[in-house]
Amino acid sequence: MAIIRDGMPSFDLFRPTSVDDALSLAKRLGSDVWLLAGGLDSLERFKDRMKRPKAVIDLGAIEELRGIRRDGGDLVIGPMTTLTEVQHNPDLKTHFSLLAQAAGEVASPQIRNQGTLGGNISQDTRCWYYRSGWNCYRAGGGVCYAGESKEGQNREHAVFGVEGCAAVSPSDTAPALVALEARLVIQNAEGTREVAAEDFFVGPETDITRLNVLRPGELLTEIRLPATWAGATFYFEKVRGRPVWDFPLVNIAAAMRLTGDRIDRARFVLGAVAARPWRLSQVEAAVAGQSRNEIAEAGSSIAANGAAPLPHNGYKVVLVRNLIKRAILGKKES
């Protein structure tokens, strides 16, 4: 099925100025409404006619969804805060530089000026079969063209957690939020719930049609960073085909608490290797209490345990092992 690029279908546009108004609109409009953050992913999908909402709620005028503030022991980020603001915020750079660095690796300066943190973690997969209108599992069909077809092109697809769908999460900031044990506050017209960042993202074994737990009528209203990893030793690296704009082939976000050269505890999270940020709990357990220099090779050797590469993406297994070694050592060249 070819993509149609003859202009966006028409829709009603609403621009509320408060969260309550946005949620009230979302409840009234039901499944025909689309919530718009920075718009960089959404407008592309409208143009390609992948999504044809009857109504769009533009969140850009809701000031309470913007900004970075302290609330007790948490640093609270509004989901409509731009990636540029996240990248350059002094509090984040001092205490949670992992997220600031990840935000600074997204796309290009122009896109970071428009794109938002909430939008970056909520964007849909970039799988070209899905985006091009093929009737795959994720689109409601009966095949994964990347993972099941002998002729499938899967260079950028998953090596972990491939259960029916081989699409990957394209976000740079999502692995950082999981590594930092962030909590995400979600609201609807009836109330509020809070989920761990690790539980916000879902794989095909949970729901093959979406990448996160947001339900119709729900809005991400806060991203909360607890003090758990504030001021820790961080490492972020993104491997991509081009130095700017490109989505990750693989990225890694790591947070470590050190005593001298010894790793007391750590979090290692990969991106673009599965439909959700992929946490390497086995590596975390292996490095705890060990010297960075002495455990780097061993950590690298188990980093890709469970990987099941497709015909054209076996290189990701090598990247995963090397990136884990670099993260443990804190060096981009090993």
> What CA dihedral angle connects 44, 48, 50 and 56, to 10 degrees?
50
pLDDT of residue 134: 92
List the structure tokens of 276: 């959700």
pLDDT of residue 4: 56
pLDDT of residue 334: 47
CATH code: domain 231-329 is 3.30.390.50
Q: Is 187 helix (H, G, I), strand (E, B) or coil?
A: strand
By the 8 A CB rule, do 294 and 256 touch?
no
Burial of 97 (0-12, 13-18, 19+ CB in 10 A): middle
- Say which residue the tokens 């505890």 belong to: 265
Count other Cβ atoms within 10 Å, centred on residue 314: 12
pLDDT of residue 43: 87
Q: How far is CA 197 from CA 86, 200, 274, 279, in A?
A: 17, 5, 16, 11
CATH class of 12-61: alpha beta
Q: Please choose, from the candidates 280, 284, 259, the residue with its C-alpha nearest in 3D space to the C-alpha of residue 159.
A: 280
By the 8 A CB rule, do 291 and 320 touch?
no
Using 70 as the pLDDT threshold, list the residues of the chain that sit under it: 1-6, 334
pLDDT of residue 48: 75
pLDDT of residue 121: 98
Pairing of strands 219-225, 250-259: unpaired
The CATH number of domain 63-123+174-228, selected from 3.40.630.40, 3.40.50.970, 3.30.70.20, 3.30.465.10 = 3.30.465.10
pLDDT of residue 6: 61
Pairing of strands 12-14, 55-58: parallel
Query: Can you say whether the dihedral through the CA atoms of 133, 138, 140, 141 is positive or negative?
Result: positive
- Say which residue the tokens 């603001």 belong to: 85
List the structure tokens of 315: 């290189």
Interior angle at CA 181, CA 177 and CA 187, nearest 5: 75
CB hemisphere CA count around 304 (13 angstroms): 21
Alpha helices (H) in the chain, listed in sequence order: 19-29, 40-47, 83-88, 90-95, 97-104, 109-114, 117-122, 128-131, 173-179, 197-200, 281-287, 292-302, 315-329
pLDDT of residue 47: 80
Distance in angstroms (rounded) separating the CA atoms of residues 256 and 104: 21
Domain spans of the chain? 12-61, 63-123+174-228, 231-329
pLDDT of residue 254: 98
Count other Cβ atoms within 10 Å, centred on residue 244: 12
pLDDT of residue 58: 97
Q: Is 198 helix (H, G, I), strand (E, B) or coil?
A: helix
Side chain identity at residue 322, one-letter code: N
Burial of 242 (0-12, 13-18, 19+ CB in 10 A): exposed
Read off the pLDDT of residues 92-129 as tens digits, 9 standing for 90 and up: 999 999 999 999 999 999 999 999 999 999 999 999 99
Distance in angstroms (rounded) separating the CA atoms of residues 81 and 83: 7
